[in-house]
Structure 1
Amino acid sequence: MLKGKTAIIYGGGGAVGGAVARAFAGEGARLFIAGRSLAKLEKVADDISAAGGTAEIAELDVMDEEAVKAHADDVAAKMGGIDIALNAVGLFHVQGKGFAHLSLDDFAFPITAYAQMNFITAKAVAWHMAKRRSGVILTLSTPGGRLPGTGYLGFGTACAAVEGFSRLLACELAPSGIRVICLRPHALPEALALQSHARAVFQPAAAQAGISVDEMLAGPAETLLKRYPTLAEVAQTAAFMASDKAGAMTGTIANLTCGALVD
């Protein structure tokens, strides 16, 4: 589905980013994966190479606007453009504290960080996509922005911000032929085995319940399908959304919550 496409995945060494990178490569895309951990990026690149694909890695901080722009400019110059970009960067943030015990800094950090990094990466690639009047920008959210609950006020607000940003960015970029899609998976138990930051994030909530993080996510999920999505399902959906097969879709949220939310 992605033969001949050039894709950048920010956070490409992480659980979701790595899974999507492998799926994109399997569909024929040329991958450029960026992140802060070279060891994780190298592992993903090696997997892609072993499967017959190609991937180049770059150590990059997505909060460094100049560095992100320079990296995108280099990719576009080398490949003649950029077709797809996904921001799959995950940041540690405080969860498990109720409103009365939540500091302003802990509340504001995920909101500011996730909004800023999505703005920075989208702006870096959109200029190159607009030149060819074609491109797809993918963002990543969770159901936290709409699920009722306590202990994730900051992150839930951040997810709502990313989804709102994605819808409005689609309006901004549509005249340039650029589509914007937000992927919204639920918790991903597989990610815990891949050194994801999610384990540390979920730890306070699990401790309050008197169980481990693994036990918390191993039980029956409160979703219509009674399970959580798999990394493969998220990655395959991302590949479809990035392809021309989904060419009529923009400004929407791909609901991958197994029915935790019903749109």
Structure 2
Amino acid sequence: MMLERKSAVIYGGGGAIGGAVARVFAREGARVFLAGRTPARLDAVARDIAAAGGTVETAQVDVFDQAAVERHAETVATTAGGIDIALNAVSIMHDQGTPLAGLALEEFMRPIDGFLRTLFITSKAVARHMGGTGVILTLSEPGAKLAIGGILGHGVSAAGKEAFARLLAVELAPAGIRVVNIRPHAVIDAPAAGSYTNDLFKPAAGGGAVQDFLESGLAPTTLLKRLPTLAEIAETAAFLASDHAAAMTGAVVNLSAGALVD
């Protein structure tokens, strides 16, 4: 059990990726603390974990409320004796497909401000409660590197998330805290798991099924001719959070199935 006796906070723990990672963390022995805005979704993940014999607690937390996030982190640290692992899996609905001429400033800024604001708030809240083996995991997308039209806000936010993780790793390394970013592509089974990407990709699907768009539109553009799965992301996250990856920090782990090569 790679994460035995570890405490893990997952923001956006009721979402597709957050929930998948939480289940694997719990399977690997971690005490999981789920935080998010929708109690019903958090409870659904918690029931799965409890049914499998894992230890889990939930809390309704608005990650845009810095004071609330800090209070929750303090409670978790008091309950568990500290925080070992944190993952920000919060989703921010945003525009993809609109070029500059038709893009409003608000739409451009929504993912940049939203994603980076939550990363700052959650990372600052947990870092102070981590010991010399703490791990902060973040998520980005291939848009951080891709040069295609119509993803101005998305691409800038993705690049910002990777830069944030890299620079945060420098600051926290002296305290023994690792920071690793995971860069998956669109996740093939996420829409079926209730992901917001089902709505995100509807315009690109052109009235067709989002699943068909993922399988025939995006998967063929990767080196492996497929897209990553929730299980692959979750299993990788567990490894990165474990002592097996103790020498890794300031890195981007590319799980895009080869959407791009660094």
Please report the TM-score for the alignment, with normalisation by the length of structure 2: 0.97
Match of 2:228 in 1: 229
**1:130-181 CA deviation, whole Å, 9 max, x = no partner?**
xx32200000101011112222210111000000000000000000110000
Whether the 8 Å CA contact 1:63–1:120 is kept in 2: the answer is yes
1:212 corresponds to: 209
In structure 2, the residue matched to 1:252 is: 251
Q: Percent identical across equivalent pairs?
A: 58
User: Which amino acid in the other structure matches residue 251 of structure 1?
Assistant: G
Q: Distance in 1 between matches of 2:150 and 2:52?
A: 41
Which residue is 2:66 aligned to? 65
State the match for 1:168 in structure 2: 167
CA distance in 2, matches of 1:221, 1:141: 21
Runs of 4+ more than 4 Å apart: none
Note the C-alpha offset of 1:83: 0.1
1:166/1:182 contact within 8 Å kept: yes
Match of 1:87 in 2: 88
CA distance in 1, matches of 2:220, 2:77: 42
Structure 2 unaligned blocks of 5 or more: none
Aligned partners of 1:63 and 1:107: how far apart in 2?
18
Gaps of 5+ in 1: none
CA RMSD between the two structures:
1.0
- For residue 221 of structure 1, report the CA deviation from its aligned partner: 2.6
What is the CA–CA distance in structure 2 between the aligned matches of 1:139 and 1:67, rounded to whole Å? 20
How far residue 21 of structure 1 moved from its aligned partner, in angstroms, is 0.2
Question: Matched residue pairs, number?
Answer: 259
2: CA distance, partners of 1:33 / 1:251:
25
Within-5 A mapping of 1:111-150: 111-129=112-130, 132-150=131-149
Taking the TM superposition and a 5 Å limit, the aligned residue runs for 1:23-102 are 23-102=24-103
Pairing 1:240–2:223 present: no
Is 2:190 the counterpart of 1:191? Answer: yes
Amino acid at match of 2:162: E
Range moving further from structure 2, 211-220 or 143-152: 211-220
CA offsets per residue over residues 195-236 of structure 1, 9 Å max, x none?
A: 2111111112222xx533222112143111100011110000
TM-score, reference length from structure 1: 0.96
Q: Secondary structure at the match of 1:189?
A: coil
Comparing 137-146 with 216-225, greater Cα deviation is found at 216-225
Determine if contact 2:215/2:226 at 8 Å carries over to the other structure.
Answer: no
